[in-house]
Structure 1
Amino acid sequence: MVRYKELNHKAAGHDGTLTDEEGILVFKPATKQETNFYQAIQNTRNFNEEVSKTDNYDIPLIDWMPTFLGILDEGQASPPDNVHLLKDPNLDEATLKQLIKDTDNKDMRSKRYLVLENLLSTFRKPNVLDVKLGKILYDDNATKEKKERLTKVSNETTSGSLGFRICGMKIRKNKLTKGLSESYFENGNDGYISVNKFYGRSRTKENIKDAFEMYFADDELSSERRLKLKTTFFQRLQLFYNTLLNEEVRMFSSSLLFIYEGDSTIWDLRHDEDRILKSDFFDSDSDDESEDPLEDDEEIATDTAYKKSSLSSMHLIDFAHSRLTPSLGYDENIVDGVDNLLKVFEELQNHA
């Protein structure tokens, strides 16, 4: 019988998000609008999958999102249309279906969950940052009270001035976290701290860069590796910006989730080589005949997750207030925020 547990290393968001014992999947309480958005994005993927991702190829929005595997509804798994659940021989389709069907948790059986890939599953010591996008934080369905409350939050924070706001972090303690006010974080018993939403709300245009410096200040990584991370995320943001210009959607309160590996052993064995885009969830290790440097580490090689890991990743998450908007052009509310993020990351590189 599969057992579920609360998702660890969560930077922000609502309670109730679960993962399986293996940490491969995430079970997120579903709303109708978020479910519809995932399914709509799946159905609009009409490009040729054999086209390589080059500078001349626009990356579709779906490639920045967590892989959507289906819906768990009262204990029954329902895969979305046109999704083949798994091609990885280490976890075949039958195993995955059983995994998302079986539960001894009564609460799971009484709710509907989105079944998504766990973006943290391939990291050994992840540092996680949640950045909420947009100046406008509510959709047309929000109540008057909610619109007023979220407008106030936007006006008083970098959501209004920059079009983005740090919602939270789950990071390892480092030399820069020592200066944090106790009201802004909670200590974990694993060397991590959870930085809360009030820290992000206290940031301004003038000091927002310092918050990102703190995020990247993992003491186990050299200054060269930290600069490489900033540069890689800057490149991702450039590509993501171009994606947004080609997508006709409206997204309110969606976030960019930044993750990077804090274990220097993984960096050593990867020879500091990272991917701009994370490996596809359906990629099979058996299809790659090249030697994997992680095979040289007996402890790590026993875990297939690390064998196809990246050193960092960036994904767009949270679509409870998102929808497709054909013929309305790109989402200026989100694009402006990403434009300002690019300016911050350009500064991070230049003043490293």
Structure 2
Amino acid sequence: MKVLLKRERARMEKTARETTSLETGIRLTGFQVYDLSKGVPINTPKSYGKSIKASDLPEGITRFFPLSNRSNPPVASEESADLSVAPHSDDTSVGTGLPADILLPILECLREDIAEIREALSQVHIRMVGGSFLVVYEADWDRAREGLKLLEDEDDEDEDEDEDEDEDEDEDEDDENVAKKPSPPYVVKLIDFAHTHFVPGKGPDEGVLLGVDTFLKLIDKRIEQVKALMNTKEST
């Protein structure tokens, strides 16, 4: 088992040297965005992340968080309803992406969560090889808006929550309300801990922090791009 783990670790370190991981601490793996007009996902394979340079990472983030210029959400046509897999293209499909008023707050909230994860990682003494961020967000415009409203309502509840709720009836009522609530518009998790171990007294993993910092910068850049496009649209 130890030999296999060492081989796997060596393979991952080799991949890091040959991709953006060594320089930036991060590498884009496979991802997909949903084409609402065709009713199919558009896949970006793992080979894309392994082939690009550090300077191409912002483009990858743009492809994962495309911005729609449509005024109304696209609707899947009957002709494309039977398709199961859409061909990959370097061009953003007209059916992908969220409008700026949805994408921007999702990016901003996502950034806050990643920053919190970064803060936690800076306080634990670990070494991690092959850790990943899993990011999922809602592609449906209406559901994404409902999810954002849910986040706003939760923030308001946190601010107004000055008294403890001790009665069982209140708790049961809360459970019923939770079941009726829409889902959050996005989820971000730190995953893949197979090659992670504690190193007490040796400080946080600087390579991991480098990767998280790079991710934060990429999200910041995408936020700036979306804001700029919003300002341009408002001025025309």
Structure 1 length-normalised TM: 0.45
Q: Please say if 1:159 is aligned against 2:21.
A: yes
- When residues 222 and 273 of structure 1 are mapped into structure 2, their CA distance, relative to the original with a 3 A threshold, is farther
How far is the alpha carbon of 1:234 from its aligned partner? 1.5
Q: Greater relative contact order: 1 or 2 (C-alpha under 8 angstroms, separation 6 or more)?
A: 2
Report what 2:209 is aligned to. 335
Distance in 1 between the 2:145 and 2:220 partners?
A: 26
1:262–1:256 CA distance, 2 compared to 1 (3 A): same
Aligned CA distance change for structure 1 residues 350 and 271 (closer, same or farther; 3 Å): closer
Deviations 1:40-85 (A, max 9, x none): xxxxxxxxxxxxxxxxxxxxxxxxxxxxxxxxxxxxxxxxxxxxxx
- CA distance 1:259–1:210, shift in 2 (3 Å): same
Q: Does the aligned pair in 2 maintain the 1:168–1:200 contact within 8 Å?
A: yes
Query: Where does residue 201 of structure 1 map in the other structure?
Result: 50
Are 2:185 and 1:318 equivalent residues in the alignment? no
Could you tell me which residue of structure 2 aligns to residue 235 of structure 1? 112
Give SS of 1:258's match. strand
Taking the aligned partners of 1:230 and 1:328, their CA distance within structure 2 comes to 33
| 1:171 aligned to which of 20, 24, 33 | 33
Q: Does 1:262 align with 2:139?
A: yes
Q: CA shift at 1:311, angstroms? A: 0.9
| Paired residue secondary structure (2:53) | coil
Corresponding position of 2:6: 142
After TM superposition, the runs of 4+ consecutive aligned structure 1 residues lying more than 4 A away are 289-292
CA RMSD of aligned residues (A): 3.4
Q: How many residues get paired?
A: 182
Asked whether the 8 Å contact 1:257–1:317 carries over to 2, the reply is yes
| Deviation of 1:324 (Å) | 2.3
Deviations 1:191-215 (A, max 9, x none): 1133211011122221211111111
Q: 1:272, CA displacement in angstroms?
A: 3.8
Query: Which of the two has greater helix per residue?
Result: 2
Corresponding residue for residue 126 of structure 2: 249
Q: Which stretches in structure 2 are left out of the alignment for 5+ residues? A: 74-97, 155-170, 227-236
Q: CA separation of 1:347/1:218 partners in 2, compared to 1, >3 Å: closer, same or farther? A: closer
How far is 1:273 from its partner? 4.2
Opposite residue 288 of structure 1, the aligned amino acid is D
Identity of aligned residues (%): 24
Specify whether residues 174 and 217 from structure 1 end up closer, same or farther in structure 2 by C-alpha distance, changes over 3 A only.
farther
Distance (whole Å) between structure 2 residues aligned to residue 262 and residue 222 of structure 1 = 10
Which structure has the larger Rg? 2
Superposed CA deviations along residues 261-293 of structure 1, whole A, max 9, x for unmatched, are 112222343454437x9xxxxxxx84527967x
Structure 1 match to 2:81 = none
Residue 343 of structure 1 and its aligned partner are, at CA, apart by 1.4
Contact preservation (8 Å) 1:259, 1:313: yes
Gaps of 5+ in 1: 1-31, 34-138, 176-188, 278-284, 293-303
d(CA) in 1 for partners of 2:147 and 2:61? 24
Amino acid at match of 1:347: K
**In the alignment, is the contact (CA less than 8 A) between 1:218 and 1:262 conserved in 2?**
no
- Equivalent AA in structure 2 for residue 158 of structure 1: T
The normalised TM-score by structure 2 is 0.65
Code of the residue aligned with 1:256 in structure 2: it is: F
| Contact residue 166 and residue 201 of structure 1 kept, 8 A | yes
The amino acid of 1:307's aligned partner reads K
**Partner in structure 2 of residue 5 of structure 1:** none
SS in 1 for 2:30: strand
8 Å contact kept, 2:12–2:130:
no
Residues 140, 334 of structure 1: CA spacing in aligned structure 2 closer, same or farther, 3 A cutoff?
A: farther
Q: What is the Cα deviation at residue 308 of structure 1?
A: 5.4
Q: How does 1:6-25 map to 2 (within 5 A)?
A: none
Report the CA distance shift for 1:141/1:268 in structure 2 as closer, same or farther (over 3 A): closer
**Corresponding letter in the other structure for 1:316:** L
Greater fraction strand:
1
The one-letter code matched in structure 2 to 1:329 is G
Q: 1:258: how far off?
A: 0.6
- Partner residue in 2 for 1:216: 65
